[in-house]
Chain A
C-alpha cells in the first residue's frame, strides 16, 4: 500500500469567518463537555467513587489535550471514538478486575463514603431531649400535622407541619385545642390511633430541628444518630452510645461486641473471590462440570454447524440442482431471525405438555423425551437448536470459500483418476480450512459466550441437585453462571465473585484468541494491511 507522507498540521489560513466559526464550535463543544465532566468528577469524588472520578477526569483531559494541540490533529478525528471506548470498554475491563478484588454485592453495595453520607441522615430521639405531648391533625385526607404541648414550659402550644414549625400565639396556653387549625382538622382518638402507624414514620417541623412521634403520648426533637469520626475511622452511634470501627476485611462497621451496622461498604478483599471460587466445594463441584460443558458445547456446536453448513454448501455447488438461488435463500432464513426469538420458538415447540414435538412423539405412541428435565436431553435440545441457528453461517461462508477454489485443480485431479472422496479429502477440505479456519475459532469463542441460547432455553436448567446454595444448572455455561451469580434469583447479588469468574472467562477467551492469531498468522496480516 502506497504510504504517502501526509504528516501535517492543517494549513494555517487567514482567520476568515469559516475558521472562526469552526474554532468557536470546537471550543463551545469542549466547554460543554468539560463542564459536564467537571460536575461528574466532583459528584463521584464526593461519593467516594474514586475510580469513576479518575476515569472521567483522565478521559476528559486527554480529549482536551488532543483538541487543543495542533500537532495532534489526526487524533482529533479519533477522539470521540477514543473517549467512548475509554469509558465503555477500557474502563469496564479495569473495573471488572477491581470489582473482582472486592466484596461488592448485596449488603455491600455502597462505597464507605456513601455509607457515611447515608448514615449522617439517620436520626433518632435522644433521651433527655426536648419532649412534647402530641395530638394529630390532618389536612383533609392528606398531610398530617402535630399539635405540640410543652408541659415543662407552661403548656405552651406549637404547631408542626411537614416542613414547618411555629409557636401558636392565637390560643392561650392550657386552653382547649381547636378543632380546626390552619386548615388542619383535629383527629378523634380512634382516627389518631389508626393513623399513628403512618404518622410515626414521618418527620415534622423544620429541617434543622426535626420532630417525630416517640411514644403514644410523647413527641420529641430528633438528633443525628451516627457521626463519623475520621480520626478513629469509626462511626459513633449516639443512640446505643457505641463506637463502630470500620472493618476492611468484612466491609462492615463493627463495635467491640462484634455487632455491625446494617449497611456494609465496598472493601478490597484481595484474591478472596478467586480463592473462594477455586476452593469452595459447593462452587468448584458444579464449576468443573460447567466448565466441561462449556467446552463440550462450544466444540459440538462448531462441529455440527460446520459439517451441516458445509454439506449444504457442497450441494448448492451442483449447478444441475434446480432453483439453487431459492434453496439458498430459504436455507438462510434461520440466520435472519433474531437469536432470542429463534430459541423461544424452539422452546415453545419443545414445551413438555403442549409443544408440537412432544405431541408428535405421543401420537406415534412413544414417550416424549424429557427436554427440560433430563440433563442429557436438555443438552441435546440446546445443540439441536444451535445447529438450526448456526448452520446457515457456515453454509454462506463455505459457499464463498468453495467458489474461490480454482476449477482447474479439480480437472487435474480427475485426470489423475481421483474419485469424489479423494478430491474432497485432499483438495476441497484443506483449501477450505485455510479460509474458514479462523472463522471456526471465532465461532468457538462466540459459542463459548452464547448466553442468549442458554438463558432463553431454560435459564441453565435443570438445576444441579448437589449444587446447594449456588445457583448452578446442568446446561449453564460459564457466562450464564456468572450472570446468575451477579443478578440471579433470590440469593442476592455477588458482583465480586461474578467479576472474578468473568476475569477467568476472559483469560480463557483471550488465550483462545491468541492461539487463533498464532495459528492464522494474524499478526503478519495485520501489519501488512496497516
Chain B
C-alpha cells in the first residue's frame, strides 16, 4: 500500500493495477462519505420550500401557487403588499369581508406575495384568484437575515467581535510571556512553565459551573464583564487559552537566533525596544497564523458561550444556530442550513488555505477544540 520498490512494480504490473483500482475506488467512496453531508446542507440552504420534507440533492424549482377565494366578499385592506416575505399561517396577507364578517387571509405556505389581483374596496367571487405565493432559491438566507425574533446579523457581529478581540489579546499577551520565557533566565522559570502547562490539563469546559457562578458575581458590580456580555466571555476565552499558546510561542521565539537581540542589547536598546522593533516583526508571520487559528477556535466555541450567554441579543452565531437545532429543527431546516453555511465558511476557508501550517501544528500535539 505504501510506496513500492521500482523493480517490483514493473514485474507485477497487472496485479498491482487491480490493487490500484481498488485503492482509488476506496478513496472515491471515502470522498462521497466525506462530502455528502456538505452537499446535502448546501442543497438544503437553496431549497425554496425551506422545510426538510421536500428536499432533494438538486433543489427543486421555486413553486408559485395561486391562492383563490373560498367565498365571495370584499377586500378591506392589503396587509402584505407584493414582494413581502410571509411565513406559513403567521402573517396576515389580506383583510377581507366575507358574509358580513371580517376575515384575515393568512399565507398557506412560506414565500413571497406576488400579483395581488384586486384593489382595496373591490369585490371578488368565490374561486377568484386573489394573489400568488412564490419562492426563490435564496429565501432561506432572506429569512435568516430578516427574522426579528432571531437576530442572526447581531449574532454574526457578536461572533466576529468576540473572536477578533480574543485572538488579538491572546496573541499580544502570550507573545509577551513567551518572549520572557525564551530570553530571560530567572529563578522559578522552569517550575512556572510546568505549572502553566499542568493547569491547562483542567479544561475550562470542566470549570463551566465555577466560571458561570464567578461571572454572575462579577456582573453584579461590573456589568460589562458579567453574564450575557461579550466582555466576560472574552476574558474567559483569553484566560483559558493562555497555557498552550505560551508553550507554542516560546518555541517560535526560541527559533529566532539570539545573536540578533544580543547585539541590539549591546547597542543600548532596552528589552522592550528589542522585542518590539526586532523580534516581534521576525515572528509576526507565525503570530498571524496563531491569531487566525485562535480566531477560528473562538468563533466556533459553543459550550461556554451557551452557558454564559443567556440573553438572545448577546448570543454568538454558534449559540444562535443551536437555538435553531433545539427549536423546531425539521421546519427551520432550510434556514438552519443557510446559517450553517455562513457559520462554517470562515473556518472552511481558513483551514483549507492553511492546510500545511495546521498539519505542522497538529504534530506538535494541539487538538482541534
- The answer to whether A and B assemble together is yes
Query: A residues touching B (Cβ–Cβ < 8 Å)?
Result: 1-7, 10-11, 13, 22, 36, 39-40, 43-44, 47, 49, 52, 73-78, 80-81, 84-85, 87-93, 95-96, 99, 104, 311-312, 314-322, 327, 329-342, 344-349, 351, 353-356, 388, 392-393, 396-397, 399-402, 407, 410-411, 414, 420, 423-424, 428, 435, 438-439, 442-443, 446, 449, 451-452, 455-456, 459, 479, 482-483, 486-487, 495, 498-499, 502, 505-506, 509-510, 513, 526-527, 530
Residues of A within 8 A of B355 (CB): 329, 332
Residues of B within 8 A of A337 (CB): 38, 344, 347-348
Tell me if A351 and B329 are in contact (CB < 8 A). Answer: yes
29 A-B pairs whose Cβ atoms sit less than 8 Å apart in the complex: A2-B258, A5-B185, A10-B271, A11-B270, A40-B222, A47-B220, A80-B176, A85-B196, A88-B240, A89-B207, A96-B207, A99-B210, A312-B27, A321-B24, A330-B35, A331-B31, A336-B344, A336-B352, A348-B52, A348-B333, A351-B52, A354-B52, A354-B53, A354-B330, A410-B3, A420-B1, A435-B363, A479-B206, A506-B202
A263–B265 Cα gap in the complex (Å)? Answer: 63
Asked whether B256 is an interface residue with its Cβ less than 8 Å from the other chain, the reply is no
A7 to chain B minimum Cβ distance, whole angstroms, is: 5
Binds A, one of B88-96, B145-153, B211-219: B211-219
Asked whether B209 is an interface residue with its Cβ less than 8 Å from the other chain, the reply is yes
Nearest 8 interchain pairs by C-beta: A88-B239, A336-B351, A74-B184, A77-B180, A92-B207, A338-B300, A92-B210, A84-B239
1/0 per residue B171-195: CB within 8 Å of A?
A: 0011011011101111001101110
Binds A, one of B121-129, B284-292, B318-326: B318-326
1/0 per residue B355-368: CB within 8 Å of A?
A: 10011001101011
| Interface-central residue, A4, A329, A348, by most chain B CB under 10 Å | A348
Q: How many residues of B contact A (CB 8 A)?
A: 109
B110 to chain A minimum Cβ distance, whole angstroms, is: 16
B30 to chain A minimum Cβ distance, whole angstroms, is: 6
A502–B258 Cα gap in the complex (Å)? Answer: 44
Tell me if A75 and B180 are in contact (CB < 8 A). Answer: yes
Tell me if A388 and B33 are in contact (CB < 8 A). Answer: yes
Tell me if B30 and A312 are in contact (CB < 8 A). Answer: yes
Give the nearest-CB partner of A480 in chain B: B303
A493 to chain B minimum Cβ distance, whole angstroms, is: 9
Give the nearest-CB partner of A40 in chain B: B221
Asked whether B59 is an interface residue with its Cβ less than 8 Å from the other chain, the reply is no
- Decide yes or no: A396 and B202 within 8 Å by CB, A91-B214, A486-B209 being known contacts: no
| Interface-central residue, B23, B221, B238, by most chain A CB under 10 Å | B221
- Decide yes or no: A347 and B33 within 8 Å by CB, A84-B239, A451-B205, A487-B307 being known contacts: no
Tell me which residues from 35 to 70 in chain B have a Cβ below 8 Å from any Cβ of chain A: 35, 37-38, 40-41, 44, 51-53, 55
Tell me which residues from 313 to 343 in chain B have a Cβ below 8 Å from any Cβ of chain A: 318, 321-322, 325-326, 329-330, 333, 336-337, 340, 343
Asked whether B203 is an interface residue with its Cβ less than 8 Å from the other chain, the reply is yes
Give the nearest-CB partner of B325 in chain A: A344
Residues of A within 8 A of B343 (CB): 338, 341
- Decide yes or no: A81 and B33 within 8 Å by CB, A99-B210, A99-B213, A442-B365 being known contacts: no
Tell me if A388 and B34 are in contact (CB < 8 A). Answer: yes
Tell me if A346 and B24 are in contact (CB < 8 A). Answer: no
Give the nearest-CB partner of A19 in chain B: B270
- Decide yes or no: A81 and B203 within 8 Å by CB, A10-B270, A318-B2, A335-B351 being known contacts: no
Residues of B within 8 A of A6 (CB): 183-185
Asked whether B20 is an interface residue with its Cβ less than 8 Å from the other chain, the reply is yes
Residues of B within 8 A of A312 (CB): 27, 30
Residues of A within 8 A of B333 (CB): 348, 354
A49–B336 Cα gap in the complex (Å)? Answer: 42
Query: B residues touching A (Cβ–Cβ < 8 Å)?
Result: 1-3, 5, 8, 20, 23-24, 26-27, 30-31, 33-35, 37-38, 40-41, 44, 51-53, 55, 173-174, 176-177, 179-181, 183-186, 189-190, 192-194, 196-197, 199-214, 217-218, 220-222, 235-236, 238-240, 242-243, 246, 254, 258, 262, 268, 270-272, 299-300, 302-303, 307, 318, 321-322, 325-326, 329-330, 333, 336-337, 340, 343-344, 347-348, 350-352, 355, 358-359, 362-363, 365, 367-368
Residues of B within 8 A of A95 (CB): 207, 210, 213-214
Tell me if A4 and B203 are in contact (CB < 8 A). Answer: no
A44–B185 Cα gap in the complex (Å)? Answer: 38
Tell me if A399 and B367 are in contact (CB < 8 A). Answer: no
Residues of B within 8 A of A5 (CB): 185
- Decide yes or no: A78 and B192 within 8 Å by CB, A446-B367, A505-B206 being known contacts: yes
Tell me if A449 and B20 are in contact (CB < 8 A). Answer: no
Tell me if B180 and A74 are in contact (CB < 8 A). Answer: yes
Residues of A within 8 A of B221 (CB): 39-40, 43-44
A353–B330 Cα gap in the complex (Å)? Answer: 9
Tell me if B2 and A85 are in contact (CB < 8 A). Answer: no
A463–B284 Cα gap in the complex (Å)? Answer: 51
Residues of A within 8 A of B268 (CB): 11, 13
Residues of B within 8 A of A509 (CB): 201-203, 206
Tell me if B185 and A93 are in contact (CB < 8 A). Answer: no
A436–B326 Cα gap in the complex (Å)? Answer: 37
Q: Per a CB cutoff under 8 Å, which of B44, B190, B209, B217 touches A49?
A: B217
B309 to chain A minimum Cβ distance, whole angstroms, is: 13
A205 to chain B minimum Cβ distance, whole angstroms, is: 28
Tell me if B213 and A333 are in contact (CB < 8 A). Answer: no
Residues of A within 8 A of B258 (CB): 2, 4
A337–B303 Cα gap in the complex (Å)? Answer: 16
Tell me if A40 and B325 are in contact (CB < 8 A). Answer: no
A45 to chain B minimum Cβ distance, whole angstroms, is: 11
A368–B326 Cα gap in the complex (Å)? Answer: 23
Tell me if B44 and A397 are in contact (CB < 8 A). Answer: no
A333 to chain B minimum Cβ distance, whole angstroms, is: 6
Q: Per a CB cutoff under 8 Å, which of A338, A342, A456, A483 touches B208?
A: A483
Residues of B within 8 A of A75 (CB): 180, 186
Residues of B within 8 A of A346 (CB): 37
Tell me if A330 and B318 are in contact (CB < 8 A). Answer: no
A502–B202 Cα gap in the complex (Å)? Answer: 10
A149 to chain B minimum Cβ distance, whole angstroms, is: 42
Give the nearest-CB partner of A439 in chain B: B365
A47–B363 Cα gap in the complex (Å)? Answer: 48
Residues of A within 8 A of B344 (CB): 336-338, 341
Residues of A within 8 A of B179 (CB): 77
Tell me if B192 and A89 are in contact (CB < 8 A). Answer: no
Q: Per a CB cutoff under 8 Å, which of B183, B197, B209 touches A498?
A: B209
| Interface-central residue, A73, A342, A354, by most chain B CB under 10 Å | A354
| Interface-central residue, A47, A99, A345, A428, by most chain B CB under 10 Å | A345
Known: A89-B202, A321-B20, A348-B333. 10 other contacts (CB 8 A): A47-B220, A77-B177, A92-B204, A315-B27, A321-B24, A329-B352, A333-B34, A335-B368, A354-B51, A509-B203
Tell me if B204 and A89 are in contact (CB < 8 A). Answer: yes
- Decide yes or no: A96 and B209 within 8 Å by CB, A44-B217, A353-B330, A451-B303 being known contacts: yes
- Decide yes or no: A348 and B1 within 8 Å by CB, A85-B242, A337-B344, A451-B205 being known contacts: no
Tell me if A333 and B35 are in contact (CB < 8 A). Answer: yes
Q: Per a CB cutoff under 8 Å, which of A340, A410, A495 touches B300?
A: A340
Tell me if A90 and B210 are in contact (CB < 8 A). Answer: no
Q: Per a CB cutoff under 8 Å, which of B1, B8, B44, B322 touches A414?
A: B8
Give the nearest-CB partner of A503 in chain B: B206
A315–B173 Cα gap in the complex (Å)? Answer: 42
